Amino acid sequence: MKRINFTRLSIITLIFAALLVHDLPAQEKVLAEEQGTMTLPKGVSIYLLDNGMQVLLIENPALPMVGANLIIKVGSAYESFSTSGMSHMLEHLLFNGTTTREQKQLYDDVDMIGGYNNASTTEFYTNFMMVTPSDNIKKGMEIQADMLFHSTLPNEKFEKEKGIV
C-alpha cells in the first residue's frame, strides 16, 4: 500500500507541474544543439522548466486538436517482487472515479468536450494522455488533474482491476 501512495504522490506532483506549464513564460528553451548533435524537425521545441520538468512542444496548426501526454518515470523496471504490477494497477485505478466524479461522470465529461482520455504503462514509464479539440484543452486538463489529484481508489475497484492487470 505504501507503494501506491508514493506513486500517487509522484503523479500528483508531476501533473501539478504540467498544469503550471500553461501560465509559464517559455524562458528556458533548451536548444537541440546544446543537448547534442540531434536537430529537431521544424515546429518541434524542447523546454526545461525551473522544476526540472521537460516539455516537448510539437506544433501542427493544420489540426484543431491538442494532445497532452504526461509521461511519468514509473513502470515495472522500478518495481520489486513485492510491488510488481503496482504502476500498471495504479494507472487503471485512476480511471475509476474521484472525489468529485463517479467513473461514469469521468467518461461522460471527456465525451462532452469531444476528448479522448487514456493511459499506458511500460517497463520505464506511465503515460497519461488527453486529446481534445483545441478550445477544450483547459477542461481536458482539469479532468485529467482531477483523476490524478483526487482519485478515490475504492476497494471494490481494486479487486476488479486486480483481475485485469
Residue-wise pLDDT for 52-78, tens only, equals: 888 888 888 888 999 888 898 999 999
- Give me 87's grid cell: 504502476
Catalytic residues: 91
pLDDT computed for residue 11 by the predictor: 44
The residue to which cell 474521484 is assigned:
98
Task: List alpha helices for the chain, DSSP H.
Answer: 2-21, 32-35, 86-93, 103-112, 137-150, 155-164
| CB-CB contact of 129 with 119 (8 Å) | yes
Q: What is the CATH number of the domain that holds 80?
A: 3.30.830.10
Q: Provide the number of structural domains found in the chain.
A: 1
Q: What percent of the chain has pLDDT over 70?
A: 77
pLDDT computed for residue 102 by the predictor: 95
Helices (H) and strands (E) in the chain, counts: 6, 6
pLDDT computed for residue 34 by the predictor: 52
Q: Is the pLDDT of residue 129 over 70?
A: yes
Burial of 47 (0-12, 13-18, 19+ CB in 10 A): middle
| CB-CB contact of 64 with 25 (8 Å) | no
The rounded mean pLDDT for the chain is 79
pTM of the predicted protein model: 0.70
pLDDT, tens digit (0-9, with 9 covering 90-100), for 8-49: 444 444 444 444 444 434 433 444 445 455 677 888 888 888
pLDDT computed for residue 38 by the predictor: 65
Determine the average pLDDT of the residues in 98-124.
96
Determine the average pLDDT of the residues in 85-107.
94
Domain assignment of residue 9, given as a range: 2-164
CA distances from residue 134 to 56, 71, 138 in whole angstroms, order as listed: 17, 20, 9
